[in-house]
Amino acid sequence: MKKFIFLFAFCITVTNIFAQTDPNQIKKEGNDAFNAKNYPVAYAKFSEYLKQTNNQDSATAYYCGMAADEIKKYAEAVTYFDIAIQKKFNIGNAYARKAAALDALKKTDEYVATLEEGLKVAPNNKVMVKNYGLHFLKAGLAAQKAGKTEEAEENFKKVIPLNHKTYKTNALYSLGVLCYNDGANILKKAAPLANSDADKYAAEKEKADARFKEAVDYLEEAAKISPENANVKKMLPQVKAAMK
């Protein structure tokens, strides 16, 4: 009876040994599934392979992140893109994809921080430039609409360093309009003082003129970048006229 038990246990051990799949075979199956766009299987295979190999394969980690993203496992995608980033594999796109996954998770602060970090490493990555520019242009317009001038300015200014003609022009134009409107509002509020308190009116007009000057500077910079831009062409003379 004891001999039978020993042989049975030995059979189980041998079976388990032969049942283990070679990690390279798992990776191959993952690659085949990924190429066939069978992302659930690709994710399962890649993640198992990485688990067995202690996350050493940066390329597979990147593609595992892509597969995770395709099946909406966004938190897992972030984890695998982080591995690719740490190992500097396709780092610009890894940052861009990590940011997109964070955006899908509605983790806005982490999304923006990842884009900022990624742009330091890959400043010309088109996806990151686009997403970063659009984020702050939209945030600036929303703040401006809500009457939050300082917040709007801060958001628009974040777009200016980007290497993107359209976004840069839009940010500069938006800043020009914002400064002009601010100056016009200062003058409007100060108008009753023109006859009752000349000194105070003069001080307010000086503030308004300073804002108009800022507007001109932004618009002239926008005109250098995009001389064909109709909005800039129309706005610049209007601001200069307000300074007279």
Please say if the pLDDT value at position 38 is more than 80: yes
Judge whether 149 lies within some domain: yes
Q: What CATH number corresponds to the domain at position 190?
A: 1.25.40.10
**What is the structure's pLDDT at 12?**
41
Please indicate, yes or no, whether residues 234 and 197 belong to a single structural domain of this protein.
yes
Q: What is the pTM of this model?
A: 0.84
Please say if the pLDDT value at position 14 is more than 60: no
Amino acid found at 133:
G
**Position 20 confidence tier, pLDDT thresholds 50, 70, 90:** low
Please indicate, yes or no, whether residues 106 and 41 belong to a single structural domain of this protein.
yes
Please say if the pLDDT value at position 79 is more than 50: yes
**Position 7 confidence tier, pLDDT thresholds 50, 70, 90:** very low
Please indicate, yes or no, whether residues 133 and 237 belong to a single structural domain of this protein.
yes
Judge whether 20 lies within some domain: no
Gap between the Cα atoms of 122 and 39, Å rounded: 28
**What is the structure's pLDDT at 194?**
84
- Report pLDDT digits (tens) over 105-132: 999 999 999 999 999 999 999 999 999 9
Q: What is the DSSP string of 185-217?
A: HHHHHHTTHHHH-HHHHHHHHHHHHHHHHHHHH
- Taking 3-state DSSP, the helix, strand and coil percentages for the chain, each rounded to the nearest 5, stand at 80, 0, 20
Judge whether 36 lies within some domain: yes
**What is the structure's pLDDT at 141?**
96
Q: How many domains does the chain have?
A: 2
Please indicate, yes or no, whether residues 106 and 159 belong to a single structural domain of this protein.
no
Please indicate, yes or no, whether residues 130 and 216 belong to a single structural domain of this protein.
yes
**What is the structure's pLDDT at 242?**
83
Mean pLDDT of the chain: 91
Query: What average pLDDT does range 225-239 have in this prediction?
Result: 94
| Cβ-Cβ contacts under 8 Å for 160 (sequence gap 6 or more) | 168, 171, 172
Judge whether 224 lies within some domain: yes
- Tell whether the torsion through CA atoms of 61, 73, 94 and 82 is positive or negative: negative
- Report pLDDT digits (tens) over 175-195: 999 999 999 999 999 989 888
Please indicate, yes or no, whether residues 53 and 97 belong to a single structural domain of this protein.
yes
Q: Which residues span the domain enclosing 106?
A: 29-122
